Amino acid sequence: MTEPTDTQQYSFKAETKQLLNILIHSLYKEREVFLRELLSNASDALNRLRFETVTNRDVLDLNAELKIHITLDKDSRMLTIQDTGIGMTKDEVIENLGTIAQSGARKFIEATKDKNTDLTSVIGQFGVGFYSVFMVAEWVRVTSRSFRKDDEAVMWYATGEDNYQIGHTDMSERGTKIEIKLKEDAAEFAEEYRLKNIIHKHSDYIGFPIYIGEAKEAVNKQTSLWRTSKQEVTEEQYTEFYRQTTLDFEDPLLHIHMATDAPVQLYALLYVASKAERGVFSLRKDDGLKLYTRNILIDEYNKDLLPEYLRFVQGVVDSEDLPLNVSRETVQSSGLMPKLKKVLTNQVMRELENLAKNNAEKYQAFWQEFGLYLKQGIASNPVDADTINPLLRFKTNLNPETWSSLEEYVSRMKEGQKEIYYIVGEDSKSVLRSPHLDYFHSLGTEVLLLTDPMDSFMLMGLHKYKDFDLKNVAQAEVDTTQKPKDQPEAEKIADIDFNSLVEHFKQVLGERVADVRASTRLYQSVARLADADANANPELQRVYKYLGKEYEIPKKVLELNPSHTMLKDLLNLEAGSELQNIIIEQIYDSSLLVEGLHPDPSSMASRVQQIMEAALKQKSG
């Protein structure tokens, strides 16, 4: 290699400078992660080259072995990592090595401000990629030549300070070479035994040979973990492979290792993460599974192998049934894809059912992170509802702190109960005070509490479980002849007085309500809003609201509790007085608020103040 020509100097952006400063000047317990990062990058470059050569034979060094070669010079503290992968052009070097996502750098920097933070775990959590090399390097020189025969080789050089240099150079072979001048306190990484240990720990299953020095035998196993028999793989190996491919240092909640010959031939190793949120520096930048054919990566983010509601599943799928010359575009239209999708989906759903059955605590952790996706599945794929239903979990009015399946709810149903009752609201605390629950509370009937915005969408596809229809308590027909045995019946307002009060409510509220009438199912609450049309769809109303679409507050029937003390006291106020009128307004607005339908809750503030002033005036008088 000759000295680079037309060298230009570039400046790192502010966030990248801060990140490099942290890496260079902080002490880490496990700086070895830099080697895992560089080997992972080399493996990706080799995979991309192998895919390129499936359809393009006009490649520099076409017959060169696909490999990673590490050389050491202990005396001069030099470590060199070279691959025969796809290589980079000058523009690609600037894009890949000269910049880092500013938002990502900021998040990493914020995480390091906590003095109690273990920086080793932080770098593992965020995965700063190539830049982790500066934990051990005085300087780094990257030389790369693209697979395209006419492209010049390019050199990138940096010390971790404010600037880096780029220029053209000579390099006859295809691929990328990274030369690292190790710091004095990082000299251990110029020891062959140390590098071998790191490779066995982190990179054993990279699918290309890794050679060290003059050795003719590869250090790593190279066998794809997903093609290895389950009996030969340990839990530690499953976890380490997951960490290698995602840079998530938390253990996955679940792994699924499968191999089938019929109806399709495939190998798969799938994972469910412990958290739904993907780290900013995660290796996986998008949803989708890695799709291989005969160990060749043909699609980094395939979204057709699982339904969208299982997009949280990560991992690898490898099928020899796909032709080698398939392109990323044509694979989507391959007739094999629906078969692969069906097999994989069935297996994932079975594994989740087994987790729910055998480890309730772990499944609860899964549900709290990923339950939203399954609800979306019912909303968008109603035909899959029967498959998803057993995995759903709900809190109820009788068990508000624990999660229950629909099967558990059914097992606790009262004798003669023919429907599964639910209530939709804004949050679990307020919904428990809903007047719609008065009747059900009084009889000890269990009701599902649906307080997630996605629940309204889910209900568009969830109408039935086994032989039981799901019914909103606000619309449910109830047997009002059943009275709570332990609760004496309160004295009702005389009919003539109550009818007069109803007329005054109608006069004050006008066209905002469809009707005002007595309720036969309120015990504790003063009023409730009921649908004027028995066939109305309150869930659809909420869907429009959550989508931000224009919607009119539906005219509802205001039902009043003829036994409630508040209405009795309301009768004692001067008929048509300002105070009586604003209390009527407040009863209606409070009912809207409980329903989650009030368009402007803050508008009630002045009225509430008036009511408080009147109450204080009466008390002082």
pLDDT in tens, 259-272: 999 888 999 999 99
Strand ranges across the sheet with 296-302 = 254-260, 266-272, 313-318, 289-293, 296-302
pLDDT reported for residue 189: 96
Extract the tokens encoding 470. Answer: 């799901």
User: Can you give the length of the chain in residues?
Assistant: 621
pLDDT reported for residue 165: 94
Burial of 109 (0-12, 13-18, 19+ CB in 10 A): middle
533 within 8 A of 554, measured Cβ to Cβ: no
pLDDT reported for residue 98: 66
417 within 8 A of 407, measured Cβ to Cβ: no
Tally Cβ neighbours within 10 Å of residue 219: 20
pLDDT reported for residue 299: 78
**Residues of the chain with confidence (pLDDT) below 50:** 27, 101-104, 117-127, 328
- Rounded to an integer, what distance in angstroms lies between the CA atom of residue 596 and that of residue 284? 38
| Domains contained in the chain, CATH given | 5-222 (3.30.565.10), 226-358 (3.30.230.80), 395-620 (1.20.120.790)
Q: Greatest CA span in the chain, whole angstroms?
A: 105
Strand ranges across the sheet with 137-145 = 5-11, 163-169, 153-158, 137-145, 175-182, 78-83, 68-73, 210-212
Query: Does the N-terminal peptide bond of residue 400 adopt cis geometry, omega within 30 degrees of 0?
Result: no
pLDDT reported for residue 320: 81
pLDDT in tens, 221-240: 888 899 999 999 999 999 98
pLDDT reported for residue 359: 96
SS3 468: strand
- Rounded to an integer, what distance in angstroms lies between the CA atom of residue 100 and that of residue 127? 12
> What residues contact 438, with CB distance under 8 A and at least 6 apart?
521, 522, 523, 524, 525, 528
Q: What share of the chain is helix, strand, coil (3-state, %, to 5)?
A: 45, 20, 40
Extract the tokens encoding 448. Answer: 């599902």
Nearest residue to 189 via CA among 372, 376, 39, 8: 39
- Rounded to an integer, what distance in angstroms lies between the CA atom of residue 119 and that of residue 25? 12
pLDDT reported for residue 120: 42
C-alpha dist (Å) from residue 538 to 5, 60, 106: 71, 65, 44
Burial of 258 (0-12, 13-18, 19+ CB in 10 A): middle
pLDDT reported for residue 27: 47
